[in-house]
């Protein structure tokens, strides 16, 4: 199979993990690369790139860099880029940093918000500086 | 379509699959499938029940139940085996109790 060819190259994984249509899983997934889900998953998913296929159902919290939802997703998504296909169904909040793409026909109910982590940090440091300044002044 | 879990993926929890499943990553939990293939980098902690076939080339800590069990030369297995057919390749590292049965059940789990 395709993953046997890269045995010498131990740190790099070519291709992606695939969880088939009849795959049922209850628990936590932690993937450092790419993963494709066509089955039913109950639990939190962490991945670099996550693709939920049309037959896929994920119930839980998703944290990733790229998320593509073509199937069902129940729970919050926190990702840099989110793509929702025309048959995608979302029940939960979407938090993204860079891009959100929603195709015509997608079914979403939940909050959609663009996060900017830098901004939060900056306001924190400003607050600290202000407090420090107050200390010195007093 | 059969499932493939590569070595950059960790699963904690129970897996049920009606098809074949190939594992090259880390799984902690019970696995039930028609066929389970564990590759060299595969590391499984938990019991494996396969209807047809288990092919182990990685590390397994837990019990194996299957019609046919094949332990490859890179296999490291610790646990109980129940099978009708057992094949062990040269080089497999084992710490097992093995029993050949006419019918495979999960009885010795309880």
Would you list the domain boundaries of chain A? 17-137
Helix (H) / strand (E) element for B109: namely none
Between CA A5 and CA A26 the distance in angstroms is: 31
How crowded is residue B106: how many other Cβ atoms within 10 Å of its Cβ? 12
Least confident of A32-36, B68-72, B105-109: B105-109
Confidence bin at A8 (pLDDT 50/70/90): very low
pLDDT score at B80 = 95
Cβ-Cβ contacts under 8 Å, A39 against chain B: 3, 17
Q: What is the mean pLDDT of chain A?
A: 86
> A4 - beta bridge partners?
none
pLDDT score at A119 = 54
Q: How far is A33 from chain B (nearest CA, A)?
A: 6
Between CA B82 and CA B100 the distance in angstroms is: 6
Helix (H) / strand (E) element for A121: namely helix A117-137
- pTM (2 d.p.): 0.80
* φ, ψ at B99 (rounded to 5°): -140, 130
Helix, strand, or coil (residue A135)? helix
- What is residue A15's DSSP assignment? S
Query: By CA distance, what is A31's nearest residue in B?
Result: B9
Beta-carbon separation of B17 and A30 below 8 A? no
pLDDT score at A7 = 46
pLDDT score at A66 = 95
Beta-carbon separation of A1 and B22 below 8 A? yes
Q: Tell me how long chain B is.
A: 110
Q: How far is B15 from chain A (nearest CA, A)?
A: 5
- Contact between A55 and A72 under an 8 Å Cβ cutoff? The reply is no
Angle at the Cα of A9 from the Cα atoms of A80 and A27, rounded to 5 degrees: 50
Tokens of A58: 């994920």
How crowded is residue A48: how many other Cβ atoms within 10 Å of its Cβ? 14
Between CA B102 and CA A111 the distance in angstroms is: 57
Confidence bin at A124 (pLDDT 50/70/90): low
Q: What is the pLDDT of residues B34-61, one digit of tens each?
A: 999 999 999 999 999 999 999 999 999 9
Helix, strand, or coil (residue A3)? helix
Q: How far is A23 from chain B (nearest CA, A)?
A: 4
Least confident of A97-101, A124-128, B85-89: A124-128
Q: For A3-18, what is the mean pLDDT?
A: 65
Beta-carbon separation of B15 and A23 below 8 A? yes
Q: What is the pLDDT of residues A76-100, one digit of tens each?
A: 999 999 999 999 999 999 999 999 9
Beta-carbon separation of A3 and B13 below 8 A? no
- Contact between A54 and A68 under an 8 Å Cβ cutoff? The reply is no
Q: How far is B83 from chain A (nearest CA, A)?
A: 24
Between CA B33 and CA A112 the distance in angstroms is: 38
Question: Is residue A38 pLDDT above 80, yes or no?
Answer: yes
Beta-carbon separation of B9 and A30 below 8 A? yes
Helices (H) and strands (E) in chain A, counts: 1, 14
Identify the residue with better confidence: A128 or A42.
Answer: A42
Beta-carbon separation of A33 and B16 below 8 A? no
> B95 - beta bridge partners?
B78
Listed in sequence order, the residues at least 6 apart from A133 whose beta carbon sits closer than 8 Å to its beta carbon are none
């Amino acid at each position: 199979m395709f993953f046997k060819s890269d045995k010498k190259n131990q740190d790099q994984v070519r291709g992606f993990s695939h969880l088939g249509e009849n795959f049922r899983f209850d628990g936590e997934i932690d993937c450092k690369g790419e993963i494709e889900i066509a089955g039913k998953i109950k639990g939190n998913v962490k991945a670099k790139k996550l693709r939920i296929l049309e037959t896929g159902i994920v119930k839980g919290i998703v944290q990733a860099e790229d998320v593509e939802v073509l199937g069902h997703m129940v729970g919050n998504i926190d990702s840099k880029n989110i793509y929702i296909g025309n048959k995608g169904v979302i029940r939960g909040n979407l938090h993204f940093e860079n891009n959100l793409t929603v195709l015509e026909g997608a079914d979403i109910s939940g909050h959609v918000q663009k996060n900017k982590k830098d901004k939060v940090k900056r306001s924190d440091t400003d607050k600290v500086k202000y407090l420090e300044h107050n200390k010195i002044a007093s | 379509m059969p499932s493939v879990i590569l070595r950059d993926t960790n699963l904690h929890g129970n897996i049920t699959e009606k098809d074949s499943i190939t594992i090259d990553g880390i799984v902690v939990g019970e696995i039930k499938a028609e066929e389970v293939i564990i590759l060299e980098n595969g590391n499984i902690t938990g019991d494996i029940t396969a209807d047809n076939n288990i092919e182990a080339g990685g590390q397994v800590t837990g019990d194996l139940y299957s019609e046919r069990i094949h332990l490859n030369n890179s296999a490291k297995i610790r646990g109980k085996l129940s099978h009708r057919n057992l094949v062990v390749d040269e080089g497999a590292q084992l710490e097992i109790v093995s029993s050949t049965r006419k019918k495979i059940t999960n009885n010795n789990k309880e």
